[in-house]
Structure 1
């Protein structure tokens, strides 16, 4: 995945390092050339000096071929302008923006741009939204290391014991809503059509959970 990150502060640089370590190609944009010192020497990270809403700078960073765009500068206005440029001009499929003033969050949402508040778990939240946007968590805990995710089980999993979906230390089924009623599953509880299942899952295992929901376990 090619990701463009506008803003090379603590959040932007940390996110860039994490994504690069996972094999993604990352292009970081910042007005201050000294900001590049926050980044390691990596073949998967490229630094671009300039404004995140400059078309010339964005095109140099490969925005026309980007899979995701993240705006995390210290200014809400800069973030929304650069995010809108990526979304509306270059049609980047996954655009996120950091927001400091919560009153502006509604503006972002009206524009179809998900926002991330200025809290301790910002990097974890952005990372999860970039790579697992189809697994939107209902609740997150700590600094975002563990989340609760609810999903209707695919039909082909009907009849399987819910305990089979547990992965020690990574994924656990903690609740099932069935016919409008909630229950805590026992070891022998089997999946039925229409079950809405709540998983407690480590953020690092979201990809594995997605695999469980996309295809039959063990295949």
Structure 2
């Protein structure tokens, strides 16, 4: 899959390297050509010198074929403008923007632009929004043999209810993060695009749960 990154600072360079090492095609945009020195000599991705929200730069980076876009430059305004251009002009829905101001980040989340404030920044958080990663343990209780996991839910689950998910799998949905706000789901709460899902489950079952969440309800076998 192809991914485009705006900003070749430490975070952007790390993302580009990790995505490339995972076998993905990567283009990285920066208006300072010297920023690309952060990339290793054997980096196989494309390096585009230009402004990350400029249409020509984005087209040169292959945004039309992109599965996802990360705006991780040092400027909040540039990152948000780029994220909106990519979503609204090029139709790429899988975008994430780095935002330094947590209050502004929450506002943009409500407009459907996933953001990561610098105060809670990690490369893993951005990667998790761009590509499928294994379930992340957020709380573990070894005595009770239960953990709370941050899991990724495939598109085939969108429009289905929390109740359907809980009836099919050995888990309980602890909470959702939707538009930057926490949601305690009901049985009939419908899973939406962009929902971040936390589930309580046994470590014994988490691999099967991950597979079914990725592939859809049809993968459930008795």
TM-score normalised by structure 2 residue count? 0.66
Indicate whether 1:50 and 2:50 are aligned: yes
Cα shift at 1:149: 3.2
* 2:184 aligned residue: none
* 1:79 aligned residue: 79
Aligned mates of 2:139, 2:41 — CA distance in 1: 32
Cα shift at 1:92: 0.7
* 1:198 aligned residue: 200
Q: Contact 2:50–2:57 (CA<8 Å) still a contact in 1? A: yes
Cα 1:208–1:54 shift into 2, 3 Å: farther
SS at match of 2:56: helix
Equivalent residues in 2 for 1:80-119, closer than 5 Å:
80-119=80-119
SS at match of 2:95: strand
Aligned mates of 2:55, 2:103 — CA distance in 1: 28
Q: Contact 1:24–1:44 (CA<8 Å) still a contact in 2? A: no
Alignment length (residue pairs): 177
Cα 1:97–1:2 shift into 2, 3 Å: same
Equivalent residues in 2 for 1:45-194, closer than 5 Å:
45-119=45-119, 121-132=121-132, 139=138, 148-149=149-150, 152-153=165-166, 155=168, 176-177=171-172
Greater C-alpha Rg:
1
What runs of 5+ residues in structure 2 fail to find an aligned partner? Answer: 141-146, 152-161, 175-187, 189-197
RMSD, aligned CA: 3.7
Q: Contact 1:98–1:116 (CA<8 Å) still a contact in 2? A: yes
Q: Contact 2:3–2:68 (CA<8 Å) still a contact in 1? A: yes
SS at match of 1:15: helix
SS at match of 1:29: strand
Cα shift at 1:12: 0.5
SS at match of 2:53: coil
